[in-house]
Amino acid sequence: MNGVHDLGGMDGFGPIDAEPESEEPLFHAPWERRAFAVTLAMGALGQWSIDSARHARERQHPVDYLENSYYENWIVGLETLLIELGIVTSEELATGQAAGPAAEELQAHKLTGENVAAVLAIGSPTTMKGKKPPRFAVGGKVRAHPTHTIGHTRVPRYVRGRPGTIAGWHGVHIFADMSAHGLKEGQDLYSVRFEAKALWGVEDVGRGAVYVDLWDNHLEPA
């Protein structure tokens, strides 16, 4: 979707205004700790993919997305998923009162304190077995599809329709665009180099290129 989350190449957001590295706290309010941890703990139930979680944050109103702080967007996304999947009802969310316990098979997946280290270590690997050799070789000329999908996509707008070169092959990975909608399919994942001039059309950006990871479906020969 052409959401506001797809920020690459936009102007007007002002200075980066970074806090000095040595002074920045990991969390900027106590509730951020809990928002972070609740989101991870609920993700560990295995009811949605990280792609679905990203899409849930992206689907909110663009003004809200920008006005919210980072962990507010996490909470918006989490609440959206919980309601859409029927894990909590909107009434439970509004009142804060549980109408009843969650299904036992769901509770059985609850992340416990003693399992945290092991679950974090496992992470979420996305590699899959490939069925055939990759379509493109390193050095191959490609173009990012100009498609503007209404669902989730990991193709940033700023590369769509632009020519690039295959810089590397990462193997076969779960295709994020489908995974966000509950479908698990493996596709070749490539590192694609786009020359800065091909993206931004100006010379004065200096020598440079942007490398974007794109799946087979995102690319066509050029």
Partner 1 sequence: MSSNLWRSAAPSQSMDRSLKPMSETTHKRPRPIGGSHDHSHDHTEPPSEIELRVKALESLLVDKGLVDPAALDALIDTYEHKVGPQNGAKVVARAWADSAFKAALIEDATAAIASFGYTGRQGKHMVVVENSDTVHNLVVCTLCSCYPWPVLGLPPVWYKSAPYRSRAVSAPRAVLAEFGTTVGDDVEIRVWDSTSEMRYLVLPQQPAGTDNWNEDQLAALVTRNSMIGVELARSPDGENADGVKS
Among 14, 67, 71, 86, smallest CA distance to 38 is for 71
By CB under 8 A, name the one of 86, 123, 139, 221 that touches partner 1. 123
The neighbouring-strand residues paired with 189 are 171, 215
| 120 part of the interface to partner 1, by CB under 8 A | yes
| 166 part of the interface to partner 1, by CB under 8 A | no
| 197 part of the interface to partner 1, by CB under 8 A | no
By CB under 8 A, name the one of 198, 200, 216, 217 that touches partner 1. 200
The least distance separating partner 1 from the CB of residue 133, rounded to whole angstroms, comes to 20
CA gap 172, 77 in Å, rounded = 28
* Buried/exposed 183-220: b ≥16 CB within 10 Å, e otherwise: eeebbbbbbbbbeeeebbeeeeeeeebbebbbbbbbbe
Q: Residue 61 or 148: which CB sits closer to partner 1?
A: 61
| 150 part of the interface to partner 1, by CB under 8 A | no
CA gap 170, 174 in Å, rounded = 11
Q: Residue 50 or 145: which CB sits closer to partner 1?
A: 50
Stretch 75-114 residues interacting with partner 1 (CB under 8 A): 75, 78-79, 87-88, 92-93, 96-98, 100-102, 106-107, 110-114
Q: Which two tokens stand for residue 39?
A: 């989101």
Stretch 12-51 residues interacting with partner 1 (CB under 8 A): 13-19, 21-22, 24, 26-38, 40-42, 44-45, 50
Taking the CA of residue 33 as centre, how many other CA atoms within 13 Å lie in the half-sphere pointing to its CB?
Answer: 5
